[in-house]
A and B are shown apart, each in its own frame.
Chain A
Amino acid sequence: MKGPGRFHAERVVLSNGLTAILAENRALPSVSMNLAVLSGAIADSEEFAGTAIMTSRLLDEGTTHRTSLQIADAIESVGGSIDCDGSHDRTTIHLGVLGKDIDLGLDLVSDIVRNPAFSPERIEHERERVLSEIRSAQDRPQVVAGWEFNELVYRGHPLHRPAHGYPDSIRRIRRANIEGFHADRFVPGNAVVSVVGDFEHDDMRRRLEGAFGPWPAGDAASVQTPTPARQRDIRRRFLPVSSEQAHVYFGHLGIRRRDPDFYALQVLDTILGAGAGLTARIPRALRDEQGLAYSTFASITGSAGVEPGKFIAYIGTAPDNVPKAVAGFVDEVERIIDEPVTAPELADAQAYLTGSFVFGFESNAQIARFLINAEVFGLGFDYVETYPRYIEAVTPDAVRRAAAAHLTTRAYSLVVAGPEGAVDIDTL
């Protein structure tokens, strides 16, 4: 590997059908690996929502061969780390070790992905922790407002709920649900592994075959997810909290990562709400010019995934400023729909996107994460070369067409969490 974005990745398929992507980087004595099972909370039923996240949390909490403490002690004793996390569309095990400890790391990851014990005692322990963490999260109005925003935007689609589920659904989860999710989803045909760092390609391939080859082949049945519908109405919700600031989410359904308009919309995001520093229109107007907020942004591509993401404009501001902020969002969204972006704005956004994206490929962990996304979204391992071309091909007209197709101020969801009585939500 010569530098950020110039790594050489190769894709191999192991004997049991597990896809592995390898990229050598000899600059540092470490190895980062991600093993992603391509199923997450979207696969949960409404009744047992939270099963996928609970499963991810239990992976390193004991296997048929090792206790939770034995796993922790083994990896921590070499200064390594194993983290398991779940999201709506996947479940990922992250491994970070010094190159010399890779065999131990592979052995542990192979064990926890294939042989988790899901002991009743550990299940109760994790259930209680998740419930306590949800209670704790209720103290952060920004988080609570974000959950409520999803409820409004994703009615009738699994993305309406938090990935970790609801307290009631979490209480209903039984060991059979967790074992079922694991048995159905944790199969080589539904997983991708990426490895980046200090190793030699052929040698690593042999080691991966040794560690994961014995994992019995299998494919996961596809999950039928309803296509979420764009709302046709205006949905407003006020959540009273005793906070200093009001937290405002404004927006609607967004796009999938594979949407052909993705790159035009990334340029749009950069101009509208997510450029360098305070260059984008919304932060410039609401923060730099009006002083309404420390934190404000807007984006539609940031949440694009296997399933459609959402267009979000967010601000944390004094309650008195909420009407002004919402009016600011509406003005800026309408402006980018109605008027073409200027040539200098477009050129700046393109220069920013094509120049700064290499900073996402500096560490082994960043590259390992990218390689999973490259596989899931079909980006190609030469994405570093192709990405600038996609961005440079975007025209003012393409931005305007994408804005008109994917943004609106006529049908939206609006959530405000703030001090009781501070905001009359129906006037916004």
Chain B
Amino acid sequence: MPPPLTSPNVPYTRDVGRTVLDNGLTVLTRELRFSPTVTCMVWYGVGSRHEAAGETGCSHFLEHMLFKGTRRYAKGDIDRITMRNGGSNNAFTSHDFTAYYFNFASDRWETALDIEADRMVNTVFDPVEFAAEKKVVIEELKAGLDQPWGALMQELHATAFRTHPYRNPVIGWQADVEAATPDRIEAYYRRHYHPANATLVLVGDFRTAGALARVRERFGAIDSRAPAGDTVAAEPEQTAERRFRLAWRSDVPRLAVAYRAPGIGHPDSYALQVLAVVLAEGKASRLYQRLVERDRTVTFVTAEYGESRDATLFHVRAEGRGDASRDAIEAGIDEEIDRIAGGSIGHGALDRAQRQIEARFVFSMERAMDQALLFGQIETLDRLEYVDTYLERIRAVDAAELARAAGEYLSRANRTVGWLVDGAQETPD
């Protein structure tokens, strides 16, 4: 049984083992007895953040290629083995990492180790398969751009960041994806896929000592490599508000505001997480009460701020309702943020937000997969210990800190404001 999560004295990761093999592979293990299943994840510390100009989308394309065959497994084998063993698998790529997972019953989970160890170094880049998969990736990219929020968020990131690769879509710019070659993706793979740039996470019904022996059998012989250099361009400071309007085939106005915000572990990041909840989580939140209930200018409003390796963005999004004016929607948001910066959040609202975060943490731990996701992500972005102090740091945020963070980060000069507007009615910027 996990320790009580609300007790500050028991580190949540007390039962998580952390082992580093000689070749640099980090292995996190967490035994869970109540579930006869095992989740096996591999996290690589590479994502769109690591892509140079002209090669955007490489990390994501590579993720697709890891299902297309290795020297040992033919194309289709990985899915077929997963199926025959009654499991599930998938993968995802973000700005900061690429992750692969398998869920299997606990009597056959080691199959996942065989596959992961092999495709860490033996993936093949057959030109015919590569060309077919490129078409799939292009369709995925177009499906994203057919979504109004997909188009708006892509433009928002490209505007809010000038030089940092967070400005690029994870899936890449279409021209770059079209120009990708098997050689280039393979070189990228050789540079970033090796034990020292990976974290293997095992959560579920296994014995740690035996599991580690199985891990060493599969991964121990993989050559160690020096980490690739980190050449990420620094983002210049933002000094003035940026704005854009993007034409779309819709008369529903959609707003996305991006405030520049710090990365994981920054002392102010905890206050900003509380702030996101105070602003827009649940019907009692400030922006819901103001925009949905009082002004009735939007159908929904959200505030999002998550863990990220480098300085990132705090997003506020809303969808216009009826014939509400864009000015009225923005004014509602600005006034509520100004009030918070002026110290309007009392103990009740702060405590409610902190409890919401605590409960979300508990509820997000129910499945073995959920725990593997959390541990893998945090270890890849920072250090696992972040998890242990997380709730304590959230609980320590006080009203004054919240007001200061709102004033400092959610300011006009620190933001980019993007509107998706009706292309038939107005000319975009």
Interface residues of A (CB under 8 A from B): 1-4, 6, 26-30, 60, 68-69, 71-73, 76-81, 96-98, 125, 128-129, 132-133, 135-136, 138-141, 241-245, 275-279, 284, 287-295, 316-318, 347-349, 351-356, 358-359, 362-365
- 0/1 string, B314-335, CB within 8 A of A gives 1: 0000010110000000000000
Chain A residues with CB under 8 Å of B136's CB are 287, 291, 293-294
Do A279 and B80 touch across chains, with their CB atoms under 8 A apart? yes
Interface with A: B137-145, B232-240, B303-311, which one? B137-145
Chain B residues with CB under 8 Å of A81's CB are 282
- 0/1 string, B2-20, CB within 8 A of A gives 1: 1011000000000000000
Interface residue from B1, B86, B284 paired with A355 (Cβ < 8 Å): B86
Given contacts A129-B299, A243-B146, 12 further A-B contacts (CB under 8 A): A125-B296, A132-B299, A140-B147, A244-B143, A245-B139, A275-B83, A277-B89, A277-B90, A291-B135, A352-B84, A358-B105, A363-B366
Interface residue from A29, A242, A358, A362 paired with B4 (Cβ < 8 Å): A29
Do A362 and B85 touch across chains, with their CB atoms under 8 A apart? no
Chain B residues with CB under 8 Å of A245's CB are 139, 142-143, 146
Of all chain A residues, the one with the shortest Cβ separation from B423 is: A242
Do A276 and B89 touch across chains, with their CB atoms under 8 A apart? yes
Chain B residues with CB under 8 Å of A317's CB are 139
**A79-B355, A276-B79 as given contacts; A96 in contact with B84, CB under 8 Å:** no
Do B362 and A28 touch across chains, with their CB atoms under 8 A apart? yes
Do B83 and A3 touch across chains, with their CB atoms under 8 A apart? no
Interface residue from A27, A128, A284 paired with B1 (Cβ < 8 Å): A27
Check: B356 CB closer than 8 A to any chain A CB.
Answer: yes
Do B366 and A364 touch across chains, with their CB atoms under 8 A apart? yes
Chain B residues with CB under 8 Å of A78's CB are 355, 359
Chain B residues with CB under 8 Å of A358's CB are 36-37, 105
CB of A249, distance to nearest CB on chain B (Å) = 15
21 A-B pairs, CB-CB below 8 angstroms? A1-B34, A3-B205, A27-B34, A28-B366, A69-B289, A76-B355, A79-B355, A98-B362, A132-B321, A136-B299, A276-B83, A277-B67, A277-B89, A291-B139, A292-B135, A294-B143, A295-B140, A351-B85, A359-B88, A359-B103, A362-B35
**A242-B249, A279-B76 as given contacts; A363 in contact with B282, CB under 8 Å:** no
Of all chain B residues, the one with the shortest Cβ separation from A71 is: B283
Chain A residues with CB under 8 Å of B366's CB are 28, 30, 362-365
- 0/1 string, B387-402, CB within 8 A of A gives 1: 0000000000000000
Most buried by B among A29, A79, A292, A353: A79
**A4-B35, A79-B360 as given contacts; A293 in contact with B139, CB under 8 Å:** yes
Chain B residues with CB under 8 Å of A2's CB are 34
Check: B224 CB closer than 8 A to any chain A CB.
Answer: no
Do A289 and B358 touch across chains, with their CB atoms under 8 A apart? no
Do B83 and A277 touch across chains, with their CB atoms under 8 A apart? yes
CB of A292, distance to nearest CB on chain B (Å) = 7
**A79-B355, A242-B249 as given contacts; A291 in contact with B79, CB under 8 Å:** no
Check: B132 CB closer than 8 A to any chain A CB.
Answer: yes
Q: In the complex, what distance in Å separates the CA atom of A76 from the CA atom of B281?
A: 9
Do B249 and A241 touch across chains, with their CB atoms under 8 A apart? yes
CB of A58, distance to nearest CB on chain B (Å) = 13
**A28-B362, A69-B283 as given contacts; A355 in contact with B85, CB under 8 Å:** yes
- Chain A facing B: main interface SS: mixed
CB of B186, distance to nearest CB on chain A (Å) = 19
Q: In the complex, what distance in Å separates the CA atom of A80 from the CA atom of B284?
A: 12
Q: In the complex, what distance in Å separates the CA atom of A26 from the CA atom of B33?
A: 12
Q: In the complex, what distance in Å separates the CA atom of A278 from the CA atom of B78?
A: 10
Do A128 and B365 touch across chains, with their CB atoms under 8 A apart? no
Interface residue from A4, A276, A288, A295 paired with B75 (Cβ < 8 Å): A288
Q: In the complex, what distance in Å separates the CA atom of A356 from the CA atom of B359?
A: 28
Chain B residues with CB under 8 Å of A133's CB are 299
CB of A360, distance to nearest CB on chain B (Å) = 10
Of all chain A residues, the one with the shortest Cβ separation from B370 is: A363
- 0/1 string, B252-265, CB within 8 A of A gives 1: 10000000000000
Of all chain B residues, the one with the shortest Cβ separation from A287 is: B136
Chain A residues with CB under 8 Å of B368's CB are 362
Q: In the complex, what distance in Å separates the CA atom of A133 from the CA atom of B143?
A: 21
**A139-B249, A276-B87, A363-B366 as given contacts; A129 in contact with B132, CB under 8 Å:** no
Q: In the complex, what distance in Å separates the CA atom of A76 from the CA atom of B321?
A: 25
CB of B404, distance to nearest CB on chain A (Å) = 24
Chain B residues with CB under 8 Å of A68's CB are 283, 293
Check: B154 CB closer than 8 A to any chain A CB.
Answer: no
Q: In the complex, what distance in Å separates the CA atom of A151 from the CA atom of B137?
A: 32
Check: B225 CB closer than 8 A to any chain A CB.
Answer: no
CB of A425, distance to nearest CB on chain B (Å) = 19
Of all chain B residues, the one with the shortest Cβ separation from A289 is: B132
CB of B373, distance to nearest CB on chain A (Å) = 13
Residues 85-109 of B at the A interface (beta carbon under 8 Å): 85-90, 103-105
Q: In the complex, what distance in Å separates the CA atom of A72 from the CA atom of B369?
A: 30
Q: In the complex, what distance in Å separates the CA atom of A357 from the CA atom of B54?
A: 43
Chain B residues with CB under 8 Å of A3's CB are 34-37, 205
Chain A residues with CB under 8 Å of B428's CB are none
Do B355 and A4 touch across chains, with their CB atoms under 8 A apart? no
Do A279 and B79 touch across chains, with their CB atoms under 8 A apart? yes
CB of B424, distance to nearest CB on chain A (Å) = 10
Of all chain B residues, the one with the shortest Cβ separation from A350 is: B86
CB of B124, distance to nearest CB on chain A (Å) = 15
Interface residue from B105, B132, B249, B352 paired with A291 (Cβ < 8 Å): B132
Chain B residues with CB under 8 Å of A284's CB are 76
Q: In the complex, what distance in Å separates the CA atom of A25 from the CA atom of B148?
A: 41
**A98-B362, A138-B250 as given contacts; A73 in contact with B143, CB under 8 Å:** no
Chain A residues with CB under 8 Å of B293's CB are 68-69, 125
CB of A353, distance to nearest CB on chain B (Å) = 8
Do A288 and B76 touch across chains, with their CB atoms under 8 A apart? yes
Of all chain A residues, the one with the shortest Cβ separation from B368 is: A362
Of all chain B residues, the one with the shortest Cβ separation from A316 is: B143
Chain B residues with CB under 8 Å of A71's CB are 283
CB of A316, distance to nearest CB on chain B (Å) = 5
Q: In the complex, what distance in Å separates the CA atom of A206 from the CA atom of B131?
A: 63
Interface residue from B76, B284, B292, B362 paired with A30 (Cβ < 8 Å): B362
Q: In the complex, what distance in Å separates the CA atom of A179 from the CA atom of B358?
A: 37
**A241-B249, A277-B82 as given contacts; A77 in contact with B105, CB under 8 Å:** no
Check: B290 CB closer than 8 A to any chain A CB.
Answer: no
Chain A residues with CB under 8 Å of B35's CB are 3-4, 362
Of all chain A residues, the one with the shortest Cβ separation from B34 is: A27
Do B83 and A73 touch across chains, with their CB atoms under 8 A apart? no
Chain A residues with CB under 8 Å of B85's CB are 351, 355
